[in-house]
């Protein structure tokens, strides 16, 4: 089973509010469709980020993974923008005969008063077993003591990979992998100490993204993870390990 995240900045134009990067989304959907139709991938869960859909509304309303809001209109603005992006992603997959179906985290997850995320995965597991490709996305979630906060695609990937015992994780990003100080792709990372100098150590504020946070979270998971660019998505889905492998 593979959990694939399509980074929000891969499928949207991050500099313009609520703007899709249509050609990039089509390339990503082509790669997924090729791997599904050839049988290279049998069980796949797709997660996509927010890009210019989620982050724009989240920052406008001052909402992050830790800072919440009790303003229902603000929560709905963020959730609505993410559902709009999700519809584009689903449409691109369905047009290519990928049996994609949405699972919206707002209705499937919450955070407790320690901020820990709880995601129900029975529907994802059942959809997978029935031959569908569940699609989740960064979203708002109910958060005890905070109202609603953001759940990032990366957090969902970690939860899903653990709960569903994923074999592989793919993070399709705007960079071809984790880069060293000469901008060369680092082939393999097995401990954070390997890359601390390059990634700038621990940045406590870096909770919604950033390579340091991604690598740290991936190192804690059992499944092997790859971080790669859109050019390498097809080869990842076919079983290669392009970009940077984190294990």
Q: Is 7 in the site for ligand IPE (CB under 6 A)?
A: yes
Nearer Cβ to ligand IPE (54/68): 54
Q: Per-residue contact track with ligand IPE, 110 to 149, x per CB under 6 A?
A: ----------------------------xx----------
Locate the DSSP E strands across the chain. Answer: 2-6, 44-48, 100-102, 109-111, 117-119, 133-137, 139-143, 147-151, 168-173, 188-189, 224-229, 244-246
Q: How far is the CB of 7 from ligand IPE (least distance, A)?
A: 4
Rounded to an integer, what distance in angstroms lies between the CA atom of residue 22 and that of residue 15? 14
Closest to ligand IPE by CB, 18 or 194 = 18
CB-based contacts of 90, cutoff 8 Å, min separation 6: 100, 101, 102, 135
105 binding ligand IPE? (CB under 6 A): no
x/- letters, 48..87, toward ligand IPE (CB under 6 A): -xxx--xx--x-------------------x---x-----
Span of 3-11, 69-77, 125-133, 226-234 interacting with ligand IPE by CB under 6 A: 3-11
CB 171 within 8 A of CB 228: yes
- Structure-token pair, residue 143: 């958060």
**DSSP states of 119-137 as a string?**
E--HHHHHHHHTT-EEEEE
Q: For ligand IPE, how many residues bind (rule: CB under 6 A)?
A: 19
**Residue 201 annotated as binding site:** no
Q: Are 237 and 4 in contact (CB under 8 A)?
A: yes
Q: Which is nearer to ligand IPE, 36 or 213 (CB)?
A: 213
Treating both helix axes as pointing N-terminal to C-terminal, what angle do 153-163 and 211-219 enclose, rounded to 10 degrees?
10
Is residue 210 a known part of a binding site?
yes
Cβ closest to ligand IPE, residue 130 vs residue 225: 225
Q: How far is the CB of 17 from ligand IPE (least distance, A)?
A: 12
Q: Smaller CB distance to ligand IPE: residue 53 or 132?
A: 53
CB of 235 to ligand IPE, least distance (A): 21
DSSP letter at 184 equals: P
Question: What distance in Å separates the CA atoms of residue 71 and residue 11, rounded to the nearest whole number?
Answer: 28
Q: Which residues bind ligand IPE (CB under 6 A)?
A: 7-9, 49-51, 54-55, 58, 78, 82, 138-139, 150, 152-154, 208-209
């Amino acid at each position: 089973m593979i959990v694939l995240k399509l980074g929000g900045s891969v499928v949207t134009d991050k500099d313009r509010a609520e703007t899709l990067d249509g050609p990039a989304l089509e390339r990503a959907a082509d790669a997924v469709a090729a791997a599904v139709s050839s049988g290279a991938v049998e069980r796949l869960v797709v997660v996509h980020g927010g890009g210019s859909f989620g982050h724009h509304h989240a920052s406008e309303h001052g909402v992050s993974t830790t800072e919440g809001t009790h303003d229902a209109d603000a929560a709905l603005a963020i959730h609505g923008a993410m559902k709009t992006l999700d519809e584009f992603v689903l449409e691109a997959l369905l047009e290519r005969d990928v049996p994609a179906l949405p699972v919206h985290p707002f209705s499937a997850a919450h955070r407790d008063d320690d901020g820990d995320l709880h995601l129900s995965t029975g529907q994802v597991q059942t959809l997978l077993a029935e031959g569908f490709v569940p699609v989740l996305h960064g979203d708002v979630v109910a958060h005890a003591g905070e109202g609603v906060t953001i759940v990032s695609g990366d957090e969902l990937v970690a939860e899903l990979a653990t709960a569903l015992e994923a074999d592989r994780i793919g993070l399709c990003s705007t960079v071809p992998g984790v880069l060293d100080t000469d901008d060369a792709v680092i082939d393999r990372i097995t401990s954070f100490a390997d890359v601390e100098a390059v990634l700038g150590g621990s940045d406590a504020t870096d909770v919604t993204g950033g390579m340091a946070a991604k690598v740290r979270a991936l190192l804690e998971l059992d499944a092997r993870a790859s971080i790669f660019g859109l050019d390498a998505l097809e080869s990842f889905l076919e079983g290669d390990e392009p970009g940077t492998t984190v294990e």
